[in-house]
Amino acid sequence: MDMPVSQASEPGKRQGHAPDIDTTTRRPPHLDQIAGWGSDLDRAQRPAEPKERRPARLEGLHWHEVTPQVAHVPVLHSSERPGLTPIFGSPLPPRGLSGLVRRFAFGYSENDLRHWLLLLFADRVDTVEGLVEDVAHGHLPRLYAETGGRAELKHNPRAAAIKATALVAGVALIVAWRRSSSRR
């Protein structure tokens, strides 16, 4: 890279490098696209400074700690935490085989792959349990519609045709196998 001698010899400028920037006084122009850049700058230079409230919103609270929520159902939580957080959600307590798998999964740390794979497996088991429960109560699920069959037919007809062909071939094979086994 050819630079004029006077420009290359200026203090603070090196050949082929950006000039040194003092981040406490001004924001580098090439970092304007990074969301949240400058949050550790001096308050007058912070990007959110005009939006921050003075005084802060949470000053003068009438309570010092949140009253803990009472658990009426089993609540699964990370093995890294000694207990429940003061506020938690419990919309769907663990139940059945999927609940057993979830309890087993929470025995592992969250940074362990087994934890997350077991939770994914528990979701699949819960889906099957829901289908069995629906059939037991006399409700036949509309699997084609509920799994996005109409949307696939509209937006990806080739894949829908392949799946339909595979289904017809599978049913034909099962019927042929049953006929051949009943003749013996």
Q: Which pLDDT band holds residue 1 (cuts at 50, 70, 90)?
A: very low
53: left (phi over 0), alpha (psi -120 to 50) or beta: beta
DSSP state of 56: -
Tokens of 78: 């990370």
**Residue 171 pLDDT class (50, 70, 90 cuts):** very high
Calculate the alpha carbon distances from 59 to 53, 54, 56 in Å.
Answer: 11, 10, 6
Any idea how long the chain is? 184
CA distance 3 to 5: 6
Token look-up 């550790």 returns 40
Closest CA to 116 of 101, 128, 129: 101
| H/E stretch holding 153 | helix 149-155
Per-residue model confidence as pLDDT tens digits over 108-126? 999 999 999 999 999 999 9
Task: Cite the DSSP H helix spans in 3-70.
Answer: 5-8
% of the chain surpassing 70 pLDDT: 66
- The answer for 16, left when phi > 0, alpha when psi is -120 to 50, beta otherwise, is left
Parse the chain into domains and list their residue ranges: 1-56, 76-84+91-141, 146-184
Read off the pLDDT of each residue in 157-173 and give the average, rounded to a whole number.
94
Residue 183 has pLDDT above 80, yes or no: no
Q: What is the pLDDT of residues 37-91, one digit of tens each?
A: 666 667 666 666 556 666 666 666 676 777 888 888 888 888 888 788 888 887 7
What are the angstrom distances between the C-alpha of 22 and each of 19, 77, 102?
A: 10, 45, 51
Which pTM value belongs to this model? 0.52
- C-alpha 127/C-alpha 146 separation (Å) is 12
Contact 141, 131 (CB under 8 A): yes
Residues 6+ apart with CB under 8 A from 103: 76, 94
Q: Which residue has the higher pLDDT, 102 or 84?
A: 102
Question: Residue 157 above 90 pLDDT?
Answer: yes
The CB density around residue 118, as the number of other CB atoms within 10 Å, is 19
- 4 pLDDT band (50/70/90 cuts)? very low
CA distance 156 to 16: 51
On the question of pLDDT at 24 being above 60, the answer is: no
